[in-house]
């Protein structure tokens, strides 16, 4: 489903996040691709919402010195959203990775102020992604 360049791209992106000090230096990140049924079940279990969503993030560490988490992405939902927005699937997927990782780094969008802060950070990281991390991945 994803080209071979995605692994290298994600690794470079995560290294860059570490250099930006979004979280301390040690830890791990899992990017898990799931189908709509699994995403719906996760969304129900953890958010109480009975629908598939495009991305969910789970911080797996209580230690502020460790960046450890998982970002679950539903490619089918992401693909539909990309079509609706008129974007390439690779661009939508990059946005979801950035969005999920920013949640792990402490960003959120529960209030308008937090939403604007997270949206600005997402735009900054997507600009870096497109200019530094192998643009044009499919």
All structural domains of the chain: 5-132 (3.40.390.30)
Interaxial angle between packed helices 75-85 and 89-104, expressed in degrees from 0 to 180 and rounded to the nearest 10? 120
Tell me 65's DSSP state: T
- Which segments of the chain does DSSP mark as H helices, in order? 5-19, 36-47, 75-85, 89-104, 112-132
Read off the pLDDT of residues 88-131 as tens digits, 9 standing for 90 and up.
888 888 889 889 988 888 888 999 999 999 999 888 888 877 66
Q: Per-residue confidence at 47, pLDDT binned at 50, 70, 90?
A: very high
Q: Which residues, including other chains, have CB under 8 Å from residue 136's CB and lie 6 or more apart?
A: 90
Tell me 138's DSSP state: -
18/60 Cα distance (integer angstroms): 17
């Amino acid at each position: 489903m994803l080209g071979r360049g995605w692994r290298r791209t994600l690794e470079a992106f995560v290294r860059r996040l570490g250099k930006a000090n979004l979280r301390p230096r040690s830890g791990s990140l899992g990017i898990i691709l799931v189908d709509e049924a699994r995403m719906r079940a996760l969304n129900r279990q953890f958010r109480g919402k009975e629908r598939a969503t495009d991305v969910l993030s789970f911080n797996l560490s209580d230690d502020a010195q460790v960046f450890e988490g998982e970002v679950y992405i539903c490619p089918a939902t992401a693909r539909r959203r990309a079509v609706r927005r008129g974007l390439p699937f690779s661009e939508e997927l990059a946005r979801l990775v950035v969005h999920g990782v920013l949640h792990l780094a402490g960003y959120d969008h529960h209030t308008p102020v937090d939403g604007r802060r997270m949206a600005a950070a997402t735009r900054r990281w997507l600009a870096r992604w497109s200019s530094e991390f192998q643009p044009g991945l499919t």
